[in-house]
Structure 1
Amino acid sequence: MMLDALARRAVTVGAAGAIATGSRTAAAVGAQALLDGGNAFDAAVAAALAETVALPSKCGLAGDVVALYVPAGAAEPLSLIAVGGAAAGLYEAAAARRWDVPATGPLSVGVPGAPAGYARLAAMGNMPLSRLAAPAMALAQRGVWWSPMNVLLERESHELLRTYQPGGCVYSPCAAPHAEGALVPLPALRDVLHEFVARGAGLFAGPVGTALVDKVRRHGGILTDDDLGGVEVVEQPAHRVETLAGTLWATNAPTFGTTLSQLVSGRQPRDVGVGDLRDTLHRSVAVASEGTSTVAAADAEGNTVVIVHSLSFPQYGSGLVVDGYDLVLSNRAGRGFVFIPGHPDSPVPGRRPPTTLHAWGVRRDGGWLLGATPGGLQQVPWNVQVLGHLLGDGAPTTVAMGRAVCASRWELAPDGDERREGREIDALGARSSHTLVHAGPGRCAAAADPRWDGAAVAV
């Protein structure tokens, strides 16, 4: 009975647009953009920038962006990947360490792709970047509500953050941890956003980039100004596969969209089991990661977009926070590359690392339904499960969306065994945070996973 009530509350429908995010505050920001005449891209970018402040351990301008989107009237979705390539000196630095590169710390810091990704998505909107960033800047100045998830991730990251900020930092102060419900001002992040408005994709060509390189190199890293010089945003038609429940589109390599497609190709998504996932992932599976968030938006014109933006794994990325800017640096390089000489995923200069980030899309009830979740390597199992519910549910799309985000989850433990909610995990205790959005004839719908801090709003 409780799940039925949650399912009804998880989904919302409107005529002008809808948005779902990993942060309640960000959902309100995205909805306001729609009300002010913005389209789905405006709403998604405004919400995503708000999340970089509201969820500073998960996503930020020093992270990466992956997106799947369908412009109004388009026949198929497009895949957008804004992930930085390997720094020029990383391969040699790894070799000098006999390929023993930690997943966090200065060598793990990736070249940020997020500014280029946000800027490209913003260019498809109706509003200037200054308008899209303004709510996030105001939020940073006034203070962020420290949610239960923020409290949890601060506690779990205390040792990592203190390793590189021994005198404490705004995310892990010396005096005492932040209390749940506290308002935490982040004015230095406002300054980063101000620079982003001025420089767009070239954010790191200015003082923020100088401070970033200085922070990394003082701790023994190898990033240079040249490494930050530019990230190519790769936009291509999303790859597609046929399942027994219909066509699925997903983001392209090096994202795990291709892994998701491999699992469901020629099958019913609901029939994919633990053994299939264990065999496909080909390595031990870490527990869920909280270094990622997602935003999904749709509008009355038919534009639909889902953004996955991330600082990587597990939270607060590399553990390095840029002095004077409170900017958390990702560990995409340390987590994504395989540090084996000659390996196809080794850190050859400029090569983009594989990433578990991905988003997917299907056609349903005359419109596009897009979705994604955080979760590290659990993203694939959780997306398979949600697709199984969505594509196997004969109910109207809005009802199916609510049921899908609230349905019981299972995940893979590090030993490859199944861990299920209500058994090894508390009921609704998985750290999934799905966002779904649907643009159908005459209306838009969004749904947000009720497990943590997400919310869906329609206008």
Structure 2
Amino acid sequence: MSFTPPAEFTTRPTLRGTFGMAASTHWTATATAQAVLERGGNAFDAAVAGAFVLHVVEPHLNGPGGDLVALIRPAGAPRPVVVMGQGPAPAGATIEHFLSRGLDLVPGAGGLAAAIPGAVDAWLLLLRDHGTWDLADVLAYAIGYARDGHPLVAGAAATIARVADLFARHWPTSAERWMPDGSPPPPDTLVRNPEWADVLEGLIGAGGADREARIDAARTRWMTEVLPEAAAFIRRPHRHADGGDHAGILTADDLASWRADYEAAESVTFRGWDVFKAGPWSQGPALLQTLRLIENADDEQLDPATAEGAHLLLEAQKLAYADRDAWFGDGDGAVSTDALLADDYIAQRRTLIGPAASAELRPGSPDGRAPQLPPLRTDAAVADGSTGEPTVDRSGQTRGDTCHIDVIDRWGNAISATPSGGWLQSSPTVPTLGFCLGTRLQATWLVPGHPASLLPGRRPRTTLTPTLLTRGSEVVAVGSPGGDQQDQWQLPVILRILVGGYSGQQAIDAPTLNTTALIDSFWPRTWTPAGVTVEDRMDADVLAALEARGHRVRRTGDWSLGRVTAVGRDGDGILWAAANPRGAQGYAAGR
């Protein structure tokens, strides 16, 4: 083995079997998905059931008013496809409207930042086209936990405590929902959401003569009855992350014009594996570009546990994310992946990786145009401590994350899915519905001409970035929460599995790191030149060598970075699963 040998013991075994495997960021969602497999459902039935449970048990990390990106590979399909659950900006979401409110960024919390919610419609689309179960059976798990209750996970309790003052002073419906006794509930409090249970039962009751018709009826009710009620609610002025009171702009007409869909996946080949991601409306192609930038390195040069390997990964990712920040977006102006991944452009970018850490943001010109970047804001320029997406902040402290779920079944169906947005601290709870809307528009810019500029009908560039890898009959489904860190935390895991020979659990357990030398996708949109956060378990000599190369190293604790889960199928047909131990919340199950 050319990599540093893995630790002799892991936090848990890599699960192996032949029947089916599930892994997610919450044990209840994993158990739900596995229960569906045990009852004869396929991987897509299981993932949808688990995802609706995630809405209930991880309300601080995702919700029905959020969004979704998934990669699926139906058994026998030649290529994975993308399930696109990222809704666009409303018709009223113009740069001029936001500037007229005295804003130079889209706020990180509040209904003004709501795009069209895409998660629920995307999950129902997947269930209709690739699942086998009836809607009532799939939703029964989530309805049960919402109506009968579930123990509040520690992270959700901590999140409610952090925003308790906001709820009490400005968002009374959220206070009623999450602090019914007037104070934040402690961990393991039994919490219920009967309003959301009623909504789900209403979707089941939408009618239809057969399975597909019932799902379509539920999709119609969701988009034309349920979500318009939420949109009307957030059009009342309420407190936003900038400290001002604004009214939301999402309307019923916006919702009526949009539905989730499928898209072709982008891919590169790395060490004999095909790696699939969503397009440049996500950050997925940045991982593909990183793999191309490092593909000519010897195996031992790719080891994240060495100074040489860590430096190479950090510098390659800086270049890839600089291109992301200049070129990624939806529609006109966005880079084509053909240009981004072209041989001559990759060779040109690779020459910029030197022995010292770069402290510059260096986007290139993949199709000959000059790159455009918004004004750079450093941490020092933002003094109010406000936060956008609940992810890992610049100090490495966790203020939440997103969610992730992977499932593979005995027939060979596989899915990697990252749902997010609409978390309980996004905007005020709609009291009759039990959920709130998301804030994905904060990932857009209030400057014209950028590929990620705010435009009506354009999708905000999302950080959600699940991954599928295939090699013949072999498959790996992997993903992670973490905002801008999602692919950065996946990369060392992928390298350790594909190149280093680690098992899934060994790769996930191993200490990791990520760069902060990119423009944060979430309000207040800062960057830290040459910054890198690392887990303290990394070798001290390696960290000293990185500092000697000019990296600004910030240690964040022994088990602080990475939220990766993964499932897979080996060439001999054996299935496996592994899950992140950090935070004592993610679990895998299978047999």
> Could you tell me which residue of structure 1 aligns to residue 70 of structure 2?
67
How far is 1:410 from its partner?
1.3
Bigger mean CA offset, 84-93 vs 144-153: 144-153
Gaps spanning 5+ residues in structure 2: where? 207-216, 238-246, 296-301, 304-308, 326-377, 380-391, 517-526, 538-554
Q: Structure 2 counterpart of 1:407, which letter?
A: A
Q: Distance in 1 between matches of 2:126 and 2:515?
A: 33
Q: CA RMSD in A?
A: 2.4
How far is 1:346 from its partner?
1.9
How far is 1:361 from its partner?
1.8
Bigger mean CA offset, 182-191 vs 164-173: 164-173
Q: Is 1:109 aligned to 2:109, yes or no?
A: no
1:59 counterpart SS class? coil
TM-score (norm 2): 0.71
Q: For residues 39-438 of structure 1, what are the structure 2 equivalents within 5 Å?
A: 39-91=42-94, 92-97=96-101, 99-100=103-104, 101-123=106-128, 124-162=130-168, 164-166=170-172, 168-173=175-180, 175-197=182-204, 198=206, 199-219=217-237, 220-244=247-271, 246-268=273-295, 270=303, 271=309, 272-282=312-322, 287=393, 290-311=400-421, 316=424, 318-333=426-441, 335-363=442-470, 366-395=473-502, 400-413=503-516, 414-416=527-529, 417-422=531-536, 424-430=555-561, 432-438=562-568
Q: Distance in 1 between matches of 2:115 and 2:424?
A: 13
Per the alignment, do residues 351 and 372 of structure 1 end up closer, same or farther by CA in structure 2, a change over 3 Å counting? Answer: same
CA contact (8 A) 2:82 2:278 kept: yes
Q: Is 1:15 aligned to 2:23, yes or no?
A: no
Aligned length, in residue pairs: 450
Per the alignment, do residues 241 and 295 of structure 1 end up closer, same or farther by CA in structure 2, a change over 3 Å counting? Answer: same
Q: Structure 2 counterpart of 1:439, which letter?
A: R
> Could you tell me which residue of structure 2 aligns to residue 456 of structure 1?
588
Q: Distance in 2 between matches of 1:19 and 1:161?
A: 35
How far is 1:324 from its partner?
1.8
CA distances 1:327-358 after superposition (whole Å, capped 9, x unpaired)? 0211011x221111333222221111100101
Per the alignment, do residues 426 and 266 of structure 1 end up closer, same or farther by CA in structure 2, a change over 3 Å counting? Answer: closer
Q: Structure 2 counterpart of 1:328, which letter?
A: C
How far is 1:291 from its partner?
4.6
1:228 counterpart SS class? helix
Q: Distance in 2 between matches of 1:202 and 1:6?
A: 47
Q: Distance in 2 between matches of 1:59 and 1:231?
A: 21
CA contact (8 A) 1:300 1:443 kept: no
> Could you tell me which residue of structure 2 aligns to residue 443 of structure 1?
574
2:470 counterpart SS class? strand
CA contact (8 A) 2:567 2:578 kept: yes
Per the alignment, do residues 361 and 205 of structure 1 end up closer, same or farther by CA in structure 2, a change over 3 Å counting? Answer: closer
How far is 1:214 from its partner?
2.2
How far is 1:150 from its partner?
1.7
CA contact (8 A) 1:86 1:351 kept: yes
CA distances 1:236-293 after superposition (whole Å, capped 9, x unpaired)? 3311113346432112231111111111115246544223323432367972673520
Per the alignment, do residues 385 and 203 of structure 1 end up closer, same or farther by CA in structure 2, a change over 3 Å counting? Answer: farther
CA distances 1:91-126 after superposition (whole Å, capped 9, x unpaired)? 042242355332221211121011221011112111
Bigger mean CA offset, 406-415 vs 322-331: 406-415
TM-score (norm 1): 0.91
How far is 1:320 from its partner?
2.1
How far is 1:32 from its partner?
0.8
Q: For residues 25-40 of structure 1, what are the structure 2 equivalents within 5 Å?
A: 25-40=28-43
Identical-pair percentage: 28
Gaps spanning 5+ residues in structure 1: where? none
Q: Distance in 1 between matches of 2:259 and 2:67?
A: 12
CA contact (8 A) 1:311 1:317 kept: no
Q: Structure 2 counterpart of 1:444, which letter?
A: L
CA distances 1:296-352 after superposition (whole Å, capped 9, x unpaired)? 00011110001110117xx5352221122220211011x221111333222221111
Q: Distance in 2 between matches of 1:207 and 1:251?
A: 30
Higher strand share: 1
Q: Distance in 2 between matches of 1:112 and 1:190?
A: 19
- Between structure 1 and structure 2, the one with the greater Rg is 2
Q: Distance in 2 between matches of 1:37 and 1:222?
A: 43
Bigger mean CA offset, 261-270 vs 100-109: 261-270
How far is 1:230 from its partner?
4.3
Per the alignment, do residues 290 and 324 of structure 1 end up closer, same or farther by CA in structure 2, a change over 3 Å counting? Answer: same
1:362 counterpart SS class? strand
How far is 1:173 from its partner?
4.3
CA contact (8 A) 1:303 1:439 kept: no
1:368 counterpart SS class? strand
Per the alignment, do residues 307 and 171 of structure 1 end up closer, same or farther by CA in structure 2, a change over 3 Å counting? Answer: same
Q: Distance in 2 between matches of 1:172 and 1:281?
A: 40
Q: Structure 2 counterpart of 1:362, which letter?
A: L
Q: Structure 2 counterpart of 1:299, which letter?
A: D
Q: Structure 2 counterpart of 1:298, which letter?
A: I
